[in-house]
Amino acid sequence: MGIIDRIFPGSAPTPPPTPVPPKAGETDWTVLLYVDGTYPDLEPVMAESVSNLETLGSDDRLRFVAQFGRSSQQKAHPDGTTDGIDGDWKGTKRYYIVKNPALSRLEVPLATWESVAEAIPENPLAHYALAEAYAQEGSPLLRTRNILDWPGFLESLKKAGNPDGPPILRQLRDKLTSGSKAIIDGYIPGQVVGDDSKSRIIENLNDLLEEKDLFAREDAQSIPIGDDAKLLLAKEKSKLTEVETLLLNRYLLEGLYQNEISKCRDKEMTGPSKEEYAKAEKLGYMSIIREENPVLIMRWTRRTYKSELLADLGNTSMQRPESLRDFIASSMKQFPSKHYMVVMMGHGSAWQGTSEISPKSIALAVRDAVVESNRETGRGDKVDTLVFNSCYMSNLEALREFPKAAQTVVASEMAAQANVFQHWASLGKVIGKTMDSDPDVDAKEMAATIVKYFKEWGEKNKTNPDIIRLSYEGYRTLTAVDMEKIPLVTEAFDKLLADWKWEGAGVKQLLQHVDSTKAYPSNAYSPAPGDFYSDMRDLGDLMRRIQEDPTVPKVLAEDARKVRAAISEAILDEQHTGQGMEGSTGMTFWGPNRVGEVRGLGKLYKQSVPTFVQETRWEDLLEEAAQRIQKLGDNKQTPTCRQKSAEASWKERTGSWTPTSFPCTRNPPIPRNF
């Protein structure tokens, strides 16, 4: 749905359904989301992703269970701001996701919208948002101009400190910060109240408006208030929502200071017309209030999770395989289901793994969890689909570890945008529709459904201007893989390597093709020299280059064809709609061209993806090449610049040169490439 459709709906929204509690009975699909927000740069968008899931919630066919690890706000927001979501707690919690009807409207402070509209006067979207805030929310939070008589207001607060003053006013004053009290007590009648002093007091009062116990009930009943406030006052404090608490306290404050504070919800504005909106969207202004805009969502809303808290795990680390295993096993025991999907949300690093957990350890954690659950339940459960909401995990070395862990895997060759985490509410609706059309949807169809969703998203996004397209790309590439077929890919790849050596073809020729194969640097538009991800290369593209090289023996060209055929058979669906992703075929391999990479990462490579290392000759070939180049490179130096000898050595062997980050100084490290 486009932004115009969202803002100008054809009919009023229907009331949200009642949240569905966990059931003991079997459901069709259960999605287990392992949400690693302990990375400070991911924590804000992860917190929002859990909140977004609550716009969908669980039902008796499709359940969502999430384990969310969260870093501190100080680390996530060095600028001193916060998420403003669920109390901004730190640690790890496990939730059964239910629908949160409170998420139908943004609770944005009116002062924020005013500042945005003032800063961008030519953008009608900001002014529409301001009108929405006035008309729909009327923000219970105070603004400096809501104080109609600043001198009288400060005088009243100052007198409230007297022992003989009204107790309710004295109690309110006592809750103010020492800074606010200093401004109040230092005020002299006739003195001009500065904007900074006004802002500090307003900020302090707005903090107090959030407190459920700002006013005792017996004191509140003595304050003159209207019918709306009386209805809120009649409710139990524990049952009041955040907005209701703000409104009630605002009404009570207005009752105490009838002549000094203006009434809430007393302003009306109209926003721009649909035509003005369409013009603004065409110009690219829609990002100001678009629901996918993480800046708006993360910084300007206040949310409380309504999902059922299954466990507060304290400081349990999300970056340990034991935590993943416990989450999957506990969830499978508690929520019986015909099918399970495990979604890993965090930073990914190809064969190095996700959330600091290697592919080998991820696979073992999933397998052990299934065994533990089945041992206790007596069921024959399995993980149908393993989804990596992370970067670079559609990597052959990593994928080879997963055939015994899941039937299908969904992962990306390239880096993903952080907004992929926020797609799960919309994706969940698509999954629900797929289940409607095919109640017996299996792992393969489910994996392909996820890829299809992002493919359609990517195709629509292509119509946006480049700068907007890049912001909303989501997955630039995404692949659904049949795990049963992955061993056939490694088998075909190893046969190519074996025949290459048997045929006497030079390693130099193979590595030249590797060096020119499509790569996936972390910044595709400005690749950094020596970037680890620049060595993630498209396996299908390498095989194509070998096939098309007329100097390659026919037997090797045929081997390359068979590798491509095995890849095609293993891939259920793939998409590469992102900018610069043309030519991607769905699966990468590690193709370093620097000795330092092979030597520095070789041990970790063997530990992280032992199955691939044992089944293919690829690591042996890399090590052999590194030894040759290093031995020759040590004897090729010039008196003035050792980097030049490395460059000459590389050109001699491959005919090309990959620049490095080392400066050309007297004694730098030698960046030997091969």
- Domain-wise residue ranges, the chain: 3-106+302-484, 139-256, 485-635
- Cross-sheet strand order for the sheet of 408-411: 308-312, 91-96, 62-70, 27-37, 337-345, 385-389, 408-411, 478-482, 571-575
Residue 126 has a pLDDT of 58
Decide yes or no: CATH 3.30.70.270 for domain 3-106+302-484: no
pLDDT confidence of 274, banded at 50, 70, 90? low
User: Taking residues 10-32, what's their average pLDDT?
Assistant: 58
Please count the other Cβ atoms lying within 10 Å of the Cβ belonging to residue 636: 16
Cβ–Cβ < 8 Å for 529, 520: no
- Encode pLDDT of 321-346 as tens digits: 999 999 999 999 999 999 999 999 99
Q: In terms of Cα–Cα distance, which of 269, 253, 270 is closest to 148?
A: 253
Which pair of structure tokens corresponds to residue 659?
């620049």
pLDDT confidence of 270, banded at 50, 70, 90? very low
Average pLDDT, the chain: 79
- Encode pLDDT of 118-155 as tens digits: 665 655 555 555 555 444 444 577 878 788 889 988 98
Least confident of 180-189, 227-236, 579-588, 644-653: 644-653
**What percent of the chain has a predicted confidence (pLDDT) above 90?**
42
Please count the other Cβ atoms lying within 10 Å of the Cβ belonging to residue 407: 21
Beta-strand relationship, 62-70 and 27-37: parallel
Judged against a pLDDT cut of 60, whether residue 216 lies above it is answered with yes
pLDDT confidence of 523, banded at 50, 70, 90? low
Cβ–Cβ < 8 Å for 481, 426: no
Residue 434, Cα to own-chain centre: how many angstroms? Answer: 24
Residue 199 has a pLDDT of 81
